[in-house]
Chain A
Amino acid sequence: MPFIPHTEEDVCAMLDSIGASSIDALFDEIPEALRIAELSNVPAACTEMEISRLMSERADRDHQGRCFLGAGAYEHHIPAAIWEITTRGEFYSAYTPYQAEASQGTLQLIYEYQSMMTQLMAMEVSNASLYDGASGLAEAILMAVRANRKSKSRRILIPKTINPVYRQVSKAIVRNQGINLEEVDFDTTAGSITTATLPEHPGDITAVVIPMPNFFGVIEDVDALTDWAHEHGALVIAAVNPTAMALLTPPGKWGSENDQQGADIVCGEGQPLGIPMASGGPYFGFMCCKQQYVRQMPGRIVGRTVDMEGKPGFALTLQAREQHIRRSKATSNICTNQGLMVTAATIYMALLGGQGLQRVAAASHRHTRQLHERLIAIDGVSAVFNRPFFHEAVIRFDAATVEDVLSGLAEHNILGGYNLKHSYPDLGEALLVCATETRTEADLDDYIQALQDVLCDTTE
């Protein structure tokens, strides 16, 4: 049978049989104002030659300068083997295959990925990934509302120390679902939330979001916050950096000695695990949870099983609540995942191993400490927070503006950091800097030298 899309005659016959006058009439129920008439911002079609030129020009912009910029996406060394293996024909697909069980290799890889994530996070269950860290947090919030059946308030405490983009995306996704996101202030000396900045009489709270490290790179007091949340009947949603979890206490073990209940749901951005920064995507989000909440978890889960002959195999499991079965009542509309990114992350974690990941984390921490120490020794630069940090730190300029500093550094071919003024105006001329394992001693020297030059120029 030839694959020919419907002809003009087919269309007429179909419209006749349902009694519609035209295809446009099928969309009548959508108000005129909401329809996009013309896509005036989309240019006319390009030829292959034109488009490949445009894309190369855009791609070139990605590699300009040495990067001291983190704020959610991090430059880590990606061994050549990772993408060599990931792009092999057997793996090279962005999608969970249809008739998934026919692709045992893909399912095994996802199963291995889930196993690694549960180990890294010390959690019982992982799903097969989500779109990215920001939408992962929104999914975690929706999940918490389903999972915490004792709480009726649909109130979520979300600290201002979490990535502002995550807050914005979460708000956009949950705001029409009767869920209240209540922002929690941070202690401006510590750069973290403390039990003192949490509400004194919180009432019924559904969940508390705890970032680790937070957007400023600062180590939050996760044990105290976890205890506080559980005491108030709230679930704990951990939003963590996966690299940091190789060094820090994983969310599954958060909480004080006598109440080590751990986080209930864990989410975060998977990009640091072998995914290039690539102008912001594609990345992938990860999510883990306690076994007791597995039925409320969005996305797919691969399970290991045996076939009729008793041979081991892999299958998609717990699908009964997905959209192809539950329709509008599905736990989420994420039935696929970022398969290719997860493939790379799995190979990255397998190649580095637990120790390798620890070394990446330790080197990133060491370099950022060195950078921070040397930066605040410069006249006109000061530290902002007094709490320990992971691989990012905030500095403040006494006399120069962040914009001037960043453009001055750019002339020295240095991406100097993330300007915090737009999201946190109260912090003054504050800059978020990051030095991962990829920044050498010489890179740090250059940054310091360049900053001194720039500060001289701008204050003259």
Chain B
Amino acid sequence: MSDIPANLKYTQTHEWIEQRDDGSIRIGITDHAQNLLGDMVYIELPEVGDTLEAGDECAVVESVKAASDVYSPITGEVVAVNENLADNPDLVNKDAYNDGWLFALNPSQPEELEDLLSAEAYELKAAEDEH
């Protein structure tokens, strides 16, 4: 069973969302998703300053098996990207929720956060996938 921290929010498309004290949110892909994709070889990130809408394709995680899109869960402006992934894409495999974060947004429509999945709801979805 994969790791699904209770303090995070989730999407149907396997992103996790962490609300940070400064009002920004951090986004990554779940442990379950990295497990399905396998060893990461390349991560393509948005640029700081990009404006994203909820649902936009904004990053690509490329493993030995496939290249998959990452969708922005929230509307907002990109305020940081995880530069360490350029040389160490495997951080996503090793530590999906901390060192493997992808990018951070300043949400412009915080109410969108209400629509995200709770850890319990995502756990059900992940379990469904496995059947």
Contacts and interface: CB of A to CB of B under 8 A. Distances in A.
A325 B47 contact: no
Interface string B23-52: 000000000000000000110100100000
A142 to B, nearest CB: 16
A150 B49 CA distance: 11
A379 B47 CA distance: 62
A295, A320, A325 — which one has the most chain B CB atoms within 10 A of its CB? A320
B55 to A, nearest CB: 15
Query: Could you tell me the dominant secondary structure of chain B's interface residues?
Result: strand
A326 B47 contact: no
A320 B63 CA distance: 7
Contacts of B42: 295
A329 interface: yes
A150 B47 CA distance: 8
Interface string A288-330: 0000000100000000000000000000000011000110010
Contacts of A326: 66-67
Nearest to A321: B67
Interface string B58-100: 0000111111010000000000000000000000000000000
Contact of A329 (B44, B47, B65, B69): B69
A325 B44 contact: no
Nearest to B65: A320
B47, B62, B65, B69 — which one has the most chain A CB atoms within 10 A of its CB? B62
Interface residues of B, number: 11
A295 B66 contact: no
B47, B66, B67, B69 — which one has the most chain A CB atoms within 10 A of its CB? B67
Given A295-B42, A295-B44, A320 B66 contact: yes
Contacts of B47: 149-150
A329 B44 CA distance: 14
Nearest to A325: B66
B69 A321 contact: no
Contacts of A295: 42, 44, 62
B64 A320 contact: yes
Contacts of A329: 67, 69
B78 to A, nearest CB: 12
A321 B64 CA distance: 11
A300 to B, nearest CB: 15
Contacts of B44: 295
Interface of A: 149-150, 295, 320-321, 325-326, 329
21 contacts: A149-B47, A150-B47, A295-B42, A295-B44, A295-B62, A320-B41, A320-B62, A320-B63, A320-B64, A320-B65, A320-B66, A320-B67, A321-B62, A321-B67, A325-B65, A325-B66, A325-B67, A326-B66, A326-B67, A329-B67, A329-B69
The 4 tightest CB contacts between A and B, nearest first, are A320-B67, A321-B67, A320-B62, A325-B66
